[in-house]
Chains A and B, each alone.
Chain A
Amino acid sequence: GAGVSQSPRYKVAKRGQDVALRCDPISGHVSLFWYQQALGQGPEFLTYFQNEAQLDKSGLPSDRFFAERPEGSVSTLKIQRTQQEDSAVYLCASSHGQGLSYSNQPQHFGDGTRLSIL
């Protein structure tokens, strides 16, 4: 399809396991974002990529969280040694704009990955 694709849709893991979440953005979109959404809250910014460059990772909650986009298209969000507080919906979005011009462009979201840590 032409939209942002995320996989898996649901992930259940035991505390302490590592997980990897995938995002396939819209083809040609330079900007890619990851968000974390806890129940009852709005999406919280995690990190931003412009092509393969990670320009802002200020929202990553700890060094257990790591994101990459090595070829400037598909991105992976990895969480090591998962904890129960990592349970959330993880949203990926892409945007046509780049640099600061992305700020006035709409973001196109995937369906998210619902992560549950037992």
Chain B
Amino acid sequence: DTGVSQDPRHKITKRGQNVTFRCDPISEHNRLYWYRQTLGQGPEFLTYFQNEAQLEKSRLLSDRFSAERPKGSFSTLEIQRTEQGDSAMYLCASSFGGARYEQYFGPGTRLTVT
């Protein structure tokens, strides 16, 4: 068990470009979450998958954001036409289902939009 991994760890892009991030959860976990965190704040929920089904999306997830989890394994988060306000740390977490199971977080992808 290597934990939750995210790629890339850092991404610098110019405004208007598209970016895609990948998350590989702990293999036995059926739940996968994406969060966004800005400096000095706690993570904000973006979206949630149970297996391959996307069951919840935050209103923070504008039309420029899309997430997928094909086959219930890894997940991708794409941001189209990036804006400077998208600069943040994007965190992925996974867990088993149920109230007694912890969420395990990856190291995050730091996005800087110039």
- Do these two chains interact? no
A contacts, CB < 8 Å to B: none
